[in-house]
Amino acid sequence: GAGVSQSPSNKVTEKGKDVELRCDPISGHTALYWYRQRLGQGLEFLIYFQGNSAPDKSGLPSDRFSAERTGESVSTLTIQRTQQEDSAVYLCASSPWDSTTNEKLLFGSGTQLSVL
């Protein structure tokens, strides 16, 4: 597709269960970000991947959160033992790694996670 694709679009889970969220970036985009957006709030940075470099994990809120990316393709964000405070929209964004990185950062529509 032409845009950043995220799945599922909605996920309802029970407290304590693990969830896996998927992001398909735009082909050729080497940079990939995950952000969390709580209701009525701005976006919180979680993790950043750039090519084969070590990811910047400085935004992950706890060790229950992890993310992987295979090369320059799909990324998965995993939340283990979900808590109610994990309920939020999880947004993925990708961009090319060049001087136009800012202008070409494109977001997916997000995964709405609800933890009951």
Partner 1 sequence: GQQLNQSPQSMFIQEGEDVSMNCTSSSIFNTWLWYKQDPGEGPVLLIALYKAGELTSNGRLTAQFGITRKDSFLNISASIPSDVGIYFCAGQLYSGAGSYQLTFGKGTKLSVIP
Q: Which of 12, 8, 14 is nearest to 81 (CA)?
A: 14
As a whole number of angstroms, the distance between CA 115 and CA 94 comes to: 26
How near is the Cβ of 25 to partner 1 at its closest, in Å?
A: 12
Please list, residue by residue across 57-80, b when 16 or more beta carbons sit within 10 angstroms of its beta carbon and e when fewer do. Answer: eeebeeeebebebeebeebebebe
Interaction of residue 71 with partner 1, rule CB under 8 A: no
Interaction of residue 1 with partner 1, rule CB under 8 A: no
Q: Note whether 66 and 60 are within 8 A (CB).
A: yes
Q: Note whether 64 and 79 are within 8 A (CB).
A: yes
How near is the Cβ of 94 to partner 1 at its closest, in Å?
A: 11
Cβ nearer to partner 1, comparing 27 with 81: 27
Interaction of residue 107 with partner 1, rule CB under 8 A: yes
How near is the Cβ of 17 to partner 1 at its closest, in Å?
A: 24
As a whole number of angstroms, the distance between CA 63 and CA 106 comes to: 27
Binding-site member from 11, 59, 64, 87 for partner 1 (CB under 8 A):
59
Interaction of residue 19 with partner 1, rule CB under 8 A: no
| Interacting residue ranges for partner 1, rule: CB under 8 A | 4, 33, 35, 40-45, 48, 50, 53-54, 56, 58-59, 91, 93, 101-103, 105-110
